Amino acid sequence: MLDREKAAKVAMLLTSNQPGEVVAAAGRLVAMLKSAGLTPADLLGDADTSSSGTDTKTDTTDDTFALRKAHAQIKYLTEALQRERADYEKILKQRDDALEKLDQAEDEIESMLPPLNWLLLAEEFRRKNQRGANANYAKTVEYLASIGKLTLKHKRTLRQFSERTGKRKAA
């Protein structure tokens, strides 16, 4: 005989937020049903668990309403998230545009400043950055300075380095 009260408590665990609890509860419920000679389908057809026809219709109407309400809430939240994401992407685009303008302005300023001895500065930059995160970058800057292919960004980096170290090497 199935202990309905105990089975109901185990069935309530099926609504847990913990996946492990849900799996364990499902296994326990199936084992309880099997020991009573029942299947999960027998629970749905059991006369003791169903009410009169009008109550079932009311329950179904209430369930349908709750389901529609839940779907509407999901749709609303999804649309709200999509709007927020679009706003966030717009803000990121504005930030990227502003950073691009800043780089352009710095490049323009760098092109107006007097040239320095880029090769000597690049060699010194590489010596100071032989180890660490900037080692490869320093080697690249030195190589580009040796072949005369420094970009304005590289020149800005070397100029900032010369200002930090106090080593101004005029061209």
Per-residue pLDDT tens for 74-97? 888 889 999 999 999 999 999 999
> pLDDT per residue over 42-79, tens digit each?
776 644 444 444 455 556 677 788 788 888 888 888 89
Cα separation of 28 and 22, whole Å? 10
> pLDDT per residue over 116-148, tens digit each?
899 999 999 999 998 888 899 999 999 999 999
Concatenated DSSP letters for 111-167? HHSPPB-HHHHHHHHHHHTSSSTTHHHHHHHHHHHHTT---HHHHHHHHHHHHHHT-
The residue type of 89 is: E
- 9 falls within a domain: yes
- 76 falls within a domain: yes
Our count of domains for the chain comes to: 3
**Residue carrying the six token digits 């190589």:** 143
- 89 falls within a domain: yes
72 and 42 part of one domain = no
The pLDDT score that the predictor gives to residue 92 is: 95
Q: Residue 93 has which token pair?
A: 């685009």
37 and 85 part of one domain = no
The pLDDT score that the predictor gives to residue 52 is: 46
The values of phi and psi at residue 98, to 5°, are: -65, -40
Mean of pLDDT values over 103-110: 85
pLDDT reading at 171 higher than 60 = no
The pLDDT score that the predictor gives to residue 25 is: 85
101 and 62 part of one domain = yes
pTM listed for this prediction: 0.42
For residue 127, give its domain range.
Answer: 114-165
The pLDDT score that the predictor gives to residue 33 is: 86
- 171 falls within a domain: no
> pLDDT per residue over 10-54, tens digit each?
888 888 888 888 888 888 888 888 888 888 777 766 444 444 444
Q: Residue 52 has which token pair?
A: 């009169």
- 170 falls within a domain: no
- 64 falls within a domain: yes
Residue 109 Cα distances to 24, 150, 153, 155, 169, angstroms: 68, 16, 11, 11, 18
The pLDDT score that the predictor gives to residue 61 is: 72
The pLDDT score that the predictor gives to residue 109 is: 86
Concatenated DSSP letters for 25-43? HHHHHHHHHHHTT--HHHH
Cα separation of 85 and 28, whole Å? 43
88 and 121 part of one domain = no
The pLDDT score that the predictor gives to residue 42 is: 74
The pLDDT score that the predictor gives to residue 142 is: 95
120 and 160 part of one domain = yes
